[in-house]
């Protein structure tokens, strides 16, 4: 068994695809429209779906916003340098919600950014 993907609902599919590809540097792996079901799915990731987990962006026709709730936490991405990643994300128009620094009660360097729908993405600095 392995994790295939994480699905999040988005209010503007094009805006979300742009964020994940242009701001976070992922690739659009596939996209399929389901007009009978009134939704579109787009899968983004850093590598192929066969090689690792990806993110499924689900757009339901006519729904432009969702309440995030309090059960979902965040998506985590490994980066070589969290401060440099924050700077690059900011330059590309992304929102940094927490600057890079050690996590509370620990030493791992982390940062948080938000996608256009308010989902949080944790950047975890890889240790050498």
State phi, psi for 11 to the nearest 5 degrees: -90, -20
Catalytic residue set: 122
């Amino acid at each position: 068994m392995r994790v295939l993907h994480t699905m999040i609902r988005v209010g503007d599919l094009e805006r979300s695809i742009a964020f994940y590809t242009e701001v976070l540097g992922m690739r659009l792996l596939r996209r399929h429209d389901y007009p009978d079901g009134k939704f579109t799915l787009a899968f983004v990731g850093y590598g192929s779906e066969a090689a690792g987990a990806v993110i499924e962006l689900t757009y339901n026709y006519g729904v432009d916003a969702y309440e995030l709730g309090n059960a979902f936490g965040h998506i985590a991405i490994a980066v070589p340098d969290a401060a440099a990643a924050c700077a690059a994300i900011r330059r590309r128009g992304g929102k940094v919600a927490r600057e890079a620094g050690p996590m509370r009660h620990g030493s791992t360097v982390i940062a948080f950014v938000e996608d256009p729908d308010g989902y949080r993405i944790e950047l975890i600095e890889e240790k050498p």
